[in-house]
Amino acid sequence: MKLAATTTDHLTVHTAPIADPGDLIARLPGPGALAFVHRGQGVIGWGEAARIAVPGGRDRFTAAAARLAELFAGADVHDPLRLPGTGPVAFGTFGFTPDSPGNALIVPRHVLGRRDGAAWVTTIGADPAPLGLVRPPADPGPLTWSDGALGAAGWQDAVAAAVARIRAGGLGKVVLARDLYAEAAAPIDDRVLLRRLADRFPGCYTFACDGLVGATPELLVRRSGGTVESLVLAGTSARGTDDADDAARAAALRASAKDLHEHAYAADMVRASLAPLCDELVAPDEPEILALPNVMHLASPIRGRLRSERSVLDVVGALHPTPAVGGTPTAAALDLIAELEGMERGRYAAPVGWIDGRGDGEWGIALRCAEVGGRRARLFAGCGIVGDSVPAEELAEADNKFRAMRYALEG
C-alpha cells in the first residue's frame, strides 16, 4: 500500500476547544471541501496533510485502517478533549466493488467539529486555520444535461431483464443504478452543493470527500467507543402533496409486501453481519418511516456493543455491500449489476465518511450524490428491484432520487 504524504510522515496534531463556530459549512474557506455533517453537527476539513491511496481488493477496508493506524501511531498528538472526531482525522471514500476506482483516505490540515455541545479545531503543522473565506462560493451557472450509460428506455429494459432473472430464481433482489451528467457554465464549487443539500435535507448526512458530494439518508455505521449504530433504509415511496396524502402513502409503504420484502433483505443482512462482532444487538421488529423532503423510506435503526476492539473501518468492511445497495445473494446480485447497468459505479453506493485516531467515526453510503470535477458532474440514482417491480415505477423512483442533486446544482 502506498502512502502519499503531502507534508511529512510525522504529523504534529493540535486540538483545542473553541466557542460554538456556528454553521460548519459556512466556515469552509475554499473549494475542495471535506465534510460529514448531520443537523449541524459533524466535522469539516480543508487542506491536505497526508493521503493514503488504497489499492483495490476485498481487504481494502482493513488494509486502509491498518495503514492509517500506523500513520497516526507515529503522530505527536495534543488532544485535551478526546472526543469522537478530535485529534487526527481522516476523511475517506471507497469504490463500490473491490476493483472500482476511488479508494482514498485524506488527512486534512485543518478540522472544525461540533458534537453534543462541544466544539473544537484541529490543526496539523504550524499554519493557523484561515479565519475567513479564501474564495467565496460561486454558483455554477446554467447547466446542460445528458444521459449517462443508459437512457430512460434502456434502463427500463434493464429493470425488466432483472425482474425476469429474479422470477426465474437464483436471486431475490438486485439494485440497479442510473447515471446522469451535468455540464455547468463555470467550475462547480462543492461548497455551493453542500450548502443547498444541508439546508434542504437536514435529516441526511451531507458529505464531501475528494470530489464526491451528496446527502445520504443511510448511515452505514457510527462507532463511538464500543458502541456501533446503523440505519438501514430499503423500500421507498414519493412524498405526498399534503399531510393527508403523506399519511396515506406512509400507510401504503408500511403495508407494501414488495417494499417490506425488499427491506427485510437489507435489515436481516446488517443484523447478520453485526452479530459476530457484537455482544449485544438491538433492532426493531418492524421498520419505521423516515420522511425526507422528496421521498420516504422504510427504516430500521440497529445498535450494538462491540465484542472486541475494532475500528469503524473494520465494521464498514463487514457490512459493505448491503442488500440495500447491491442485492441478495450478494455475489449473484453483483454479477447481474455488472451485466445490466452498463457502467462503472465508481464510488456510488460505497462507504464515505471519517475515522479518527481512536477508531471512532461515521460512515454513510454514498447515495443522492455526484462526482464533481471542473464544470462537470456525474449524478447517480438506484432502485431495489424484486420480482414484482414495474420498470416504469422504478424509473419514476430513480427520477425522484435524482432530484436531490439536481436541486443542489440548479438551486
> Could you report the per-residue pLDDT of 340-398, keeping only the tens digit for each?
999 999 999 999 999 999 999 999 999 999 999 999 999 999 999 999 999 999 999 99
pTM of the model: 0.93
2: annotated active-site residue: no
Average pLDDT value for residue range 225-232 = 94
Calculate the CA dihedral of residues 382, 384, 390, 395 and round it to 10 degrees: -10
- pLDDT classification of 135: cutoffs 50, 70, 90: confident
Name the least confident of 13-17, 25-29, 114-118, 127-131. 127-131
Domain ranges, ordered by start, for the chain: 2-127+144-410
Query: ∠ at Cα 187 (102, 379), nearest 5°?
Result: 45
Catalytic residue among 218, 362, 371, 394: 218
Q: Are 174 and 162 in contact (CB under 8 A)?
A: yes
410: annotated active-site residue: no
Q: Are 27 and 195 in contact (CB under 8 A)?
A: no
Task: Quickly list DSSP for 81-104.
Answer: S--TT-SSEEEEE--SSTT-S--E
Q: How confident is the model over 15-55, as pLDDT tens digits?
A: 999 999 999 999 999 999 999 999 999 999 999 999 998 98
CA distance 200 to 292: 9
Catalytic residue among 173, 371, 394, 401: 173
DSSP 8-state code for residue 202: T
| Fold of the CATH domain 2-127+144-410 | Anthranilate synthase (3.60.120)
Q: How confident is the model over 172-210, as pLDDT tens digits?
A: 999 999 999 999 999 999 999 999 999 999 999 999 999
CA distance 347 to 365: 9
State the pLDDT at residue 399.
95
State the pLDDT at residue 7.
43
